[in-house]
Structure 1
Amino acid sequence: MPSTMDSRKRVIIDTDIGDDIDDALALFLALKSPELMVLGVTTVFKNTYRRAQIVSSLLRGAGHPDIPVIPGAGRPLANRNVYGAAIAFDEPPHQFLEEMNGEAVAADQTAAEFIIETILRSEHPVTLITLGALTNIALALRVKPEIKTGIEKIVVMGGAYGMNVSEYNFSCDPEAARVVFEAGVKIIAVGLDVTFQCLLSEEQTAQIRASSDPTAQLVMRMREYWQSPHIYLHDPLAVAVAYCEDLVKLERRKIDIETQGQYTRGMSINLSGMNWHQEPGESDIWVCTEVDSRRFVEMYVQRVLQRP
């Protein structure tokens, strides 16, 4: 057990790992970051049991089989379509490998229950790092709103705050995103505006691929099922910002999530902008508007390549 003087940030990571490779890369960074104590990993959206098996495999390979892994909500609060297409709720993640079939996953509680229980029993404030739809977090806040006092902040990879686009994580469950953004908890919103600036070069990708670290090797095998030649560090940036806020420039804003539009459901709307003119005042939402992308990407590669 860590001492009461342990200064590491207590974090729960909530992820839709298994589709885009950046979730796995984010978990890899979290495990390599001495600033963090990962209290648990929860999975969200569609086949969350298979997602949990992916997490379990990564944790075991990284020497952290003790970190709890809990499958969460596979279905959004109300959403049944994303970008006009019906959600295939039972679809296994693209990066689920046959070798992960035997991974045991606890099923004695829901992700929301785990989040509530962990926050309430923690002697330290807990930071939530969300890398997918916000369904699990919204359910936890709805069931037990008093957990807000035990949450230091929620670092959300989601939204787009200077782009006219409905970002995927929010589009998967717009209603959940609105619940979380209205909860009165400090939110650091890491949007596509900044994450698209964080791209691994071919040389950096080759360095990770050449690593003898078993986690790096597993992530690179998973990456073969990610149908893109590019690796953007969307989710890893959210992990890094959880303990290194000076990587980004933050601006306090009032943000709402569109839930009605046919083409704009899930879009993050800046109410402090030129159309709505609402002063941010004491808003709990801090939006990343700039990122030191070179410093972050170099830090990422250095960290995941370092040996224990």
Structure 2
Amino acid sequence: MLPLLLPAGVANAAEIKPVIVDTDIGDDIDDAFALALLLRAPEVSIEAVTTSFGNTTLRTRLVRRLLHQAGRDDIAVGTGPSTADSTRFTQAAWALTRPAAPAPDAVALLLERLRAAPTGSITLIAIAPLSTIGAAIARDPATFRRVRQVILMGGSVRRGYGKVPGTTSATPGNEYNIHSDPGDFRRLIESGVAVVLMPLDATEVALPLAMRRDIFGQPDPADRALAALYAQWAANNPWGPVPVLFDVVPVAWLLDPSVCHPVPIRLAVLDSGATIEQPGAANVHACLDVDRARVLGLLTERLKASPSAR
């Protein structure tokens, strides 16, 4: 039998964390940074990527092109249910250069991966409105409960969107992912699985210009793809040129739990998408603050690493 080859920096196979990523990549740029960080994490095995909300077919083409640039055509990508979505698909031109091709149904792919893995082994990283995940729970709740935990970017508990990138307001608001699909978030927290929530309180982390230049100046094809996606996003989005790394924080916490410390709380979910803290038994663990320097340091260290160091 051939010896098991492990990624650099990983001592044994038990250290490798299997994950499935559910993403609405293509509108804001933070999904692309989150996926790029996972691709540079030798301690993670990406079991599948599923696309969620809006034009999921085009999102699948974008994910496949990004994975191809990173030399990871082996990762399965599933297309979730399409939905109405008024947000601009800022990176559509880059996605459209990937030829259209059939893709698995994301709900079936997610459930198949959970059935095939030991119960409690796969972590689901949810960085999108939860239309695909909600459909999986509705289709087969027992299989969905095989997930280890769901690490979710969503909600606004004690603080809201700040007026300046990388800051928060003192007043909670309606965060985009939950506002877009409050019913499926409610379905998730009632599903019986462990949910680790990364709300606006902990995810307003801006990527400074100097760090962007460091990352985009790297010769690796995946870094060049990230730079191209950023350029399209910067030219087409209504929010300005400074990326806020909302979706990177769940990945950063998986890789380095010191970036934030989840606490047990109980949330009620209003139809507006508001997530209201209330008394009672906890239904999520939520990060209510974040070490921004650690998140930025982890991201830049991993994305600047040479391919041979991964």
Q: TM-score range by the shorter chain?
A: 0.7 to 0.9
Distance 1:10 1:104 in 2: 28
Q: What does the per-residue CA deviation read over 1:185-220, in whole Å, with 9 as the maximum and x for residues that have no partner?
A: 111100111111x22111001111211111111111
Distance 1:129 1:99 in 2: 22
Q: Is the 8 A contact 1:155 1:188 kept in 2?
A: yes
1:113 paired to 2:113: no
Aligned residue identity for 1:243: L
1:177 paired to 2:185: yes
Query: Secondary structure at the residue paired with 1:290?
Result: coil
Counterparts in 2 of 1:24-43, with a 5 A limit? 24-43=32-51
Q: Is the 8 A contact 1:44 1:135 kept in 2?
A: yes
From 238, 243, 251, the equivalent of 1:239 is: 251
Q: What does the per-residue CA deviation read over 1:102-122, in whole Å, with 9 as the maximum and x for residues that have no partner?
A: 335433x42111111110111
Q: Report the count of equivalent residues.
A: 281
Counterparts in 2 of 1:11-90, with a 5 A limit? 11-75=19-83, 87-88=85-86
- Aligned residues: CA RMSD: 2.0
TM-score by length of 2: 0.85
Aligned to 1:251: 263
* Structure 1 unaligned spans of 5+: 81-86, 260-264, 272-277
Q: Is the 8 A contact 1:96 1:222 kept in 2?
A: no
Which range moved further: 36-45 or 226-235?
Answer: 226-235
Counterparts in 2 of 1:260-279, with a 5 A limit? 265-271=272-278, 278-279=279-280
Distance 1:60 1:71 in 2: 17
Shift of 1:98: 4.8
Q: Is the 8 A contact 2:64 2:98 kept in 1?
A: no
Aligned to 1:303: 302
* Structure 2 unaligned spans of 5+: 7-11, 160-171
Distance 2:152 2:52 in 1: 14
Q: Is the 8 A contact 1:15 1:41 kept in 2?
A: yes
Shift of 1:173: 0.9
Q: Is the 8 A contact 2:111 2:144 kept in 1?
A: no
* Identity fraction in percent: 29
Distance 2:274 2:285 in 1: 17
Aligned to 1:103: 99
Distance 1:101 1:62 in 2: 16
Q: Is the 8 A contact 1:129 1:242 kept in 2?
A: no
Aligned to 2:164: none
TM-score by length of 1: 0.86
Aligned to 2:292: 293
Shift of 1:302: 0.6
Shift of 1:7: 2.5
Q: What does the per-residue CA deviation read over 1:159-199, in whole Å, with 9 as the maximum and x for residues that have no partner?
A: 11112210001111111111011111111100111111x22
Q: Is the 8 A contact 1:47 1:92 kept in 2?
A: no
Aligned residue identity for 2:290: V
Q: Cα 1:206–1:225, aligned 2, differ >3 Å: closer, same or farther? A: same
Shift of 1:284: 4.0
Query: Secondary structure at the residue paired with 1:249?
Result: coil
